[in-house]
Each structure stands twice: as C-alpha cells, then as structure tokens.
C-alpha cells in the first residue's frame, strides 16, 4: 500500500482528523484520492487545495467508478446512501484503522495509546524525532503547532512511523507497533466496551501486539514482561520530579538509566509532564541522547485545542481545549487554575455524546464545579440518537455551582461579549471548535 500510482482510493468521512491525514499520506504516495464528508472544513479545503476531490452531498452518483478500495471511518452513519451502495459492489472496503495498520507494517512504528493524552504525546514524539534528525512519518489526532498539520511525511520508505493509537472501536488492535506507550486507561467508550474490564483487556491486547518495549504509566493494569514504567513514583523505571511552573512553563527532572535530565517544557500541568516523560522514553528507544531530547521538548509548541492559549494579555486570557472526559476536564482546569490563580474562570463546555453524558453524569457534575462560572451548551450528538432524560439541563442541575447557566450556540458570542470574562476556557470535542476563531478575534478587541 506504499506505491499507489494509477490506483484510486475513495474515503467516506475524508474530513476527519485521522482520515484527512491518511488521505494526504496516500496522495503523497501517488494514489488518486477522492472522498465524501458531511460538511466543508479547513481540513477538507486543504485536501481540495492539494488536488483531492471532495464532495458534501450523500449521493452515490458522485462516487468515482474506478475505485480500487474504500476507506471509511466508524463515525460515518451506517445508513449513508453511498456506504450502502459501496457495500453492494465488489470493491474492497476497510476501516481507517485497518488501512493504518497496513501502513504500519512497512515502518518501524511507535504507537501512542491512552484514553487521553495520546494526541499531545504523539505530537511530542514526532517533534522530538524530527528535530533530532530522524526521518519520521507521523499520524497525529490533532493539528500539531510545530508542523501546522496532523501529518508529518517522512522522506524515505524506511522512515520511523509515529502514530496515535485510538482505542475507539478497538481500532488500535490493527496496528503493528515496535514500541508502544500507554499513558491512561480511564473508563470511556462504554458504548463500545460495555464496562471498564473489557476496556482494560483491550489495552492489554494492544500491549501484547507490541514487538518491543511497552512504556506504561505507573498504576495502570497492563501485564507485560517488556514494560518500562514511568510516573512520579520513585519506584518507576523513569521518574519525573517537577521543579516549578511559571507562566505556562514547567521545569522538571527526569530520572532514569542512572542519570538525571533537566527538561523545560513550555506547557503547564502535571499531565503534560507525564506526556513529556513518556515521549522522552520513546525517543530513547530509537537511540536519541537525553540532552538532545530535552532540547527538542523545550521547543515544543503544543497541539491546537490542547490547552491552546489563544489570548493572554494583562486583562484577558482565552484557552481552548478538546477535553470531553471528566478526567481530561479535571487535568485541564487544574492546570488553568494553577497557571492563572488570581483570575475568575469562566468555562463554556459542550458535552459530547448522550451515552458518555449518561455514563459519567455524576463525574461531569463534580469536575465542572471547578469553574467559577459555567456556561453549558447542548449535548453534541455525533453518531448518536438522543437518550430520554439525558440533557444538558439534567447535567446542569447536578453541578454544585451558584453561577451556572444553559446557552444555545446561537447566543454564545453575544453572551461572552456582554460578560467579558477575564479568564475564558472553551471545552469539548464537538463543533464548539467553530467558535474558537470568532471568540479569539472578539476578545482581542476588548
């Protein structure tokens, strides 16, 4: 699947963060790539500018007739007319995860897994390897600011592949990792797994697929005789110790292999120290020296929508984040409050999925109360139909906070304009991202 000249790939859901990276990878290797997505976006515009045909109507007559195979994302509705028509044909159809797994067979692969933290860690590993001169191909589940892209293309066929390993739909079990990272296993995607036990088992299956070392955060129930444990605990193979955090920059030590390395990370939050420690260990596995890794981490610019500071001046600060699980929200808000302790925190949160809101209703209510002011948008349904009794109003009623309210997307900009919060955080994995640029422009005028 490396040399594609003369072959055509059709992609359903081509505008997704993972699908668009795969589309660009295929295109760079000589394939003709076309696809469907529900709505135009900056990602689909980029694909079109690079020469890929994208359309936005579910119309089987617009599907090319000379397709060699189809790649789809599980986010695509199963009743999509194009999907139904393609399933009736003899064309080979595979999930994105299967296609990515086939690509990974051709590379030495570093795979980064975890219910959260994997996008930032994947971007960190890719940045370290690229900065230190390693030929690297990376598939990142977000826009890495160092590359301004979700894809880093290597120069040769033997480049190291860095890939975000997604647990949704057990996708990561299609990969062929040589080295892997597992940095969190909090209960999530229970609509897929049913319970936490099956989720943990899936991560153990992923560890078993790994040919070499499995880099595991302390306390995780991963059973492997090839593990490298990291954390803040002194009994870990690699231990991190925070020195100080000031103005969004964290200084810390990494102890491992009998030596101490000082790292300056231009990010806040103990969770990002853990992400950086995991990335450090992964880079050691491909032979990079500790001080060179530390120098690369010092120039890491983060990922869009991951503790993404959009405005920071004397009067106002605006941060955007993708967090959509209670533990992610806790990590982000804790880091925000530590970075800006004197400012009143206004949080705009868009819940993602009815099932996740149902499964973690109490946990969401608890963690959202960390804000000083909560503005709650309607639940973003994504692939789901509504569930009776599961609404943003039901969630809001459970949040033990005096200053809280519901808001529609149509009202949000005016509400923020009227309130002019000194510290604003927008958060969620749905279409709340459409407000980031308008809010940034608005706040810069205050």
pLDDT tens track for 212-242:
999 999 999 999 999 999 999 889 999 999 9
Residue range 7-17: mean pLDDT, rounded: 94
> What's this model's pTM, rounded to 2 decimal places?
0.84
Residue 222 lies in a domain: yes
Using CA atoms, how far apart are residues 166 and 279, in angstroms rounded to an integer?
Answer: 17
Residue 166: give its domain's CATH number.
3.40.1190.10
Residue 372 lies in a domain: yes
What is the model's pLDDT at position 368? 98
Residue 17: give its domain's CATH number.
3.40.50.720
Answer yes or no: is pLDDT of 282 > 70: yes
Residue 101 lies in a domain: no
- Give the number of other Cβ atoms within 10 Å of residue 377's Cβ: 23
Answer yes or no: is pLDDT of 245 > 90: no
| DSSP assignment of 165-207 | E--GGGGGGG---SEEEE----S--HHHHSSHHHHHHHHHHHH
Using CA atoms, how far apart are residues 198 and 243, in angstroms rounded to an integer?
Answer: 38
pLDDT tens track for 314-346:
899 999 999 998 988 998 999 899 888 889 999
Are residue 291 and residue 405 in the same domain, yes or no? no
Are residue 214 and residue 180 in the same domain, yes or no? yes
What is the model's pLDDT at position 2? 46
Residue 416: give its domain's CATH number.
3.90.190.20
Which residue(s) pair with 317 in the sheet? 312, 423
Indicate the Cα dihedral angle 220, 224, 227, 232, nearest 10°: 20
Angle between helices 270-285 and 326-339 (to 10 degrees): 110
Are residue 374 and residue 396 in the same domain, yes or no? yes
Are residue 35 and residue 83 in the same domain, yes or no? yes
pLDDT tens track for 36-68:
999 898 899 999 999 999 999 999 999 998 899
Give me the number of domains the chain comprises.
3
Structural domain boundaries enclosing 141: 107-297
Are residue 140 and residue 186 in the same domain, yes or no? yes
Q: What is the largest CA-CA distance in the chain?
A: 63
């Amino acid at each position: 699947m490396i040399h594609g000249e003369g072959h055509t790939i059709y992609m359903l859901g081509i505008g997704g963060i993972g699908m668009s990276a795969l589309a660009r990878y295929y295109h760079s290797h000589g394939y003709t790539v076309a696809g469907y997505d529900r709505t135009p976006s900056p990602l689909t515009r980029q694909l079109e500018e690079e020469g890929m045909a994208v359309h936005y109507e579910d119309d089987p007559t617009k599907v090319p007739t000379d397709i060699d195979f189809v790649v789809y994302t599980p986010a695509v509705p199963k009743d999509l007319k194009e999907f139904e028509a393609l399933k009736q044909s003899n064309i080979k159809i595979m999930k994105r995860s299967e296609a990515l797994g086939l690509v990974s067979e051709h590379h030495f692969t570093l795979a980064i897994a975890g219910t959260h933290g994997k996008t930032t860690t994947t971007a960190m590993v890719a940045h370290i390897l690229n900065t230190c001169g390693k030929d690297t191909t990376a598939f990142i589940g977000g826009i890495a600011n160092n590359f301004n892209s979700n894809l880093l293309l290597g120069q040769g066929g033997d480049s190291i592949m860095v890939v975000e390993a997604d647990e949704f739909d057990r996708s990561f079990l299609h990969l062929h990792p040589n080295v892997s990272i597992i940095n969190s296993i909090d209960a999530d995607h229970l609509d897929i797994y049913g319970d936490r036990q099956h989720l943990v088992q899936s991560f153990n299956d992923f560890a078993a697929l790994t040919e070499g070392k499995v880099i595991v955060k302390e306390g995780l129930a991963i059973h492997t005789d090839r593990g490298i444990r990291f954390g803040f605990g002194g009994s870990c193979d690699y231990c991190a110790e925070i020195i100080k955090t000031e103005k969004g920059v964290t200084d810390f030590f990494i102890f491992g292999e009998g030596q101490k390395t000082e790292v300056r990370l231009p990010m806040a939050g103990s969770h990002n120290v853990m992400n950086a420690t995991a990335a450090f260990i992964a880079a050691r596995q491909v032979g990079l020296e500790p001080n060179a890794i530390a120098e690369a981490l010092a120039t890491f610019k983060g990922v869009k929508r991951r503790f993404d500071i959009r405005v920071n001046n004397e009067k106002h600060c605006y941060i955007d984040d993708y967090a959509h699980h209670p533990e992610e929200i806790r990590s982000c808000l804790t880091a925000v409050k530590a970075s800006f302790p004197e400012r009143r925190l206004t949080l705009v949160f868009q819940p993602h999925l009815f099932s996740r809101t149902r499964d973690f209703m109490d946990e969401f209510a608890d963690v959202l109360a960390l804000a000083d002011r909560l503005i709650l948008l309607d639940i973003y349904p994504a692939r789901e139909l509504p569930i009776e009794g599961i609404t943003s109003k039901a969630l809001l009623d459970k949040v033990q906070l005096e200053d809280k309210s519901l808001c529609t997307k149509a009202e949000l900009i005016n509400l923020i304009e009227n309130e002019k919060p000194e510290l604003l955080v927008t958060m969620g994995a749905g279409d709340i991202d459409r407000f980031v640029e308008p809010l940034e422009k608005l706040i810069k005028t205050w």
